[in-house]
Amino acid sequence: MLILLGVAVVVAGFAAGFNPLLVVVASAFATGLAAGLSPVEVLEAFGKAFNDNRYVSAAWLILPVIGMLERAGLQERARDLIRGFRGMTFGRLMIGYLLLRQLTSALGLTSIAGQTQTVRPLLAPMAEAAAGEGLGEDDRQRVRALSAATDNIGLFFGEDIFMAIGSILLMVGFLDQSGVRLEPLDLSRWAIPSAIAAFAIHGARIVIFGRGLSRRTGT
Amino acid sequence: MIKLGVVYGLAGLVFAAYAILSIRDQTNPRRGRNALFWGLLAASFLAGDRFGDLGNGILVLILAVTAGVGRLGQGTGGGAALADRQTSALRFGNRLFLPALVIPVVVLFGTLVVKTWSLGPEPLLDPKQATLISLAAGAILAAGAAFALFRQPLITPLQEGRRLMDLVGWAALLPQMLAALGALFALAGVGRVVGDLVTTWIPMNTPAMAVVVYCLGMALFTVVMGNAFAAFPVMTAGVALPFLVHRFGGDPAIVCAIGMLSGFCGTLMTPLAANFNVVPTALLELKDRFAVIRAQIPTALPLLLINMVLMYVFAFRPHG
């Protein structure tokens, strides 16, 4: 039971608004000490795990080129492009992106889009442009947040349809250890009903949000 | 064989450049602190394997304290003025999208084609890391294309990269920190304890009850642990296999596939899934740290309910 102290530290620390990096370190110590490690052993275990997981932060290598494109006017061009399309509404843009993200993820192409590569430089400015001229600051923030959310939802509820994605392989491996033999395809095809449901629910929310937006901006 | 070490070396050099640019940035009142943060990260990428476990532990501790006690700063200069960007956007038009398209094309080519190439007996790319290696290659080639098209000074990618990196700040490191915490949780057996708790305290007499416990458990446990991969072995070994599959005869493929997706509903609702939910609030300059999660909850909750229904309806049909 005491082991769960680390989990409690995370929940309380995030809720109280402490810096998350410090919360994580505190939780690591709470967990390690509760498990009977000495402080030095905790530091060693955490240091090793940090070093082993550097690949997570290596993806930031993409920022310099995104910065070059932004400086050359990529966001502004993305906005102009959307304004130039007659009939391009907020709803059509976002639902189109959702569908595209789900379909490409289902083909295993999860890394071709993402928060850094596409949402900040392209989708968010396009969504703002599609939302129209009179966009207030609160609505602008909501539009951006919904852009980020749409990318996440498209990714999560598309990728499991692809057979060779990490989560499918994890399931196959784990079940095999537990004496249940399954092929990746057995699992991945059962991701399809939830993917359709995700598209329907999130798509409906986009439409409803878009209607509210056009009422408020008067377009 | 091209391994991750090459990518780490490159990332280390870029972070080192951010540290140097930070210390020279007169517009940032906390430039020393920023330089220390990116400098330590550079050291980790360039030489982390030589520090030893304790050395790395101390490094993480200093990183966390640097960013967590007090704050990182941000320079005010550097970014191009809106008018300049607009002029540039008009001048280059749709050619601006070309370098952006280079990245996915290279990632695709790398993961689908180059991954199958080999150099003598060895594959050319480390097969486990082909995506990240391809992403790094894509970033470099896209930068090359951008140089060719826009004729920006050589320092521009580093300056602009640092501007965006400072915008993200400490959140940039959170995903890696949480991954390390997950490893420590696994070491201490946190998952096992939670699984025991659930099965001890909640009666699972009917398939419907077990479906609810499994799906809800996957979502809640994912919220607490920050990722569905950590929740899956615990909840599946604790609830799905003994109850749903063995006692009630549910189809394991359907149970597990939908169970994992119930976990993904949890991922949409937790700040611990920092890459997806916290980093974007910094990247998009949102005032509310929970803005992305707030935008996701109204999709995640109904979807969780539908997952339960789907599992109940499909997993217990008579097997043909």
DSSP B204: -
- The answer to whether the CB atoms of A53 and B93 lie below 8 A apart is no
C-alpha B129/C-alpha A91 separation (Å) is 37
Chain B partners of A35 at a C-beta cutoff of 8 Å?
A: 187-189
| Phi, psi angle pair for B54, to nearest 5° | -65, -40
Q: Which residue of B has its CA nearest to A189?
A: B257
Between A69 and B189, whose confidence is greater?
Answer: A69
Tens digit of each residue's pLDDT (9 = 90 or more) over B273-301: 998 999 999 999 999 989 999 999 999 99
Q: What are phi and psi of B119, to 5 degrees?
A: -115, 100
Give me the pLDDT at residue B179, please. 82
Nearest to A91 by CA among A217, A208, A219: A208
Interface test with B, best of A66, A85, A176, A201 (most B CBs within 10 A): A66
A89-138: pLDDT as tens digits: 999 999 999 999 999 888 877 777 899 989 999 999 999 999 988 889 99
Q: Which residues of chain B have pLDDT under 50?
A: 320
Count of pairs with CB atoms under 8 A, one residue in A, one in B: 407
pLDDT for position B320: 45
Whole-angstrom Cα distance, residue A129 to residue B14? Answer: 33
Interface test with B, best of A50, A101, A151 (most B CBs within 10 A): A50
pLDDT tens per residue, range B216-249: 999 998 998 888 888 888 889 888 998 999 999 9
Determine contact, residues B302/A152, Cβ cutoff 8 Å. Answer: no
User: In the prediction, which pLDDT does B189 show?
Assistant: 83
* Per-residue pLDDT, A78: 86
* Beta-carbon separation of A72 and B92 below 8 A: yes
Residues of B in contact with A70 (CB under 8 A): 85, 160, 164
List the domain boundaries for chain B.
4-170, 175-315
> Nearest 5°: CA angle at A194, between A189 and A196?
95
**The pLDDT of residue A219 is above 70:** no
Q: For residues A6-16, give the mean pLDDT.
A: 86
Which pair of tokens denotes residue B126? 């480390």
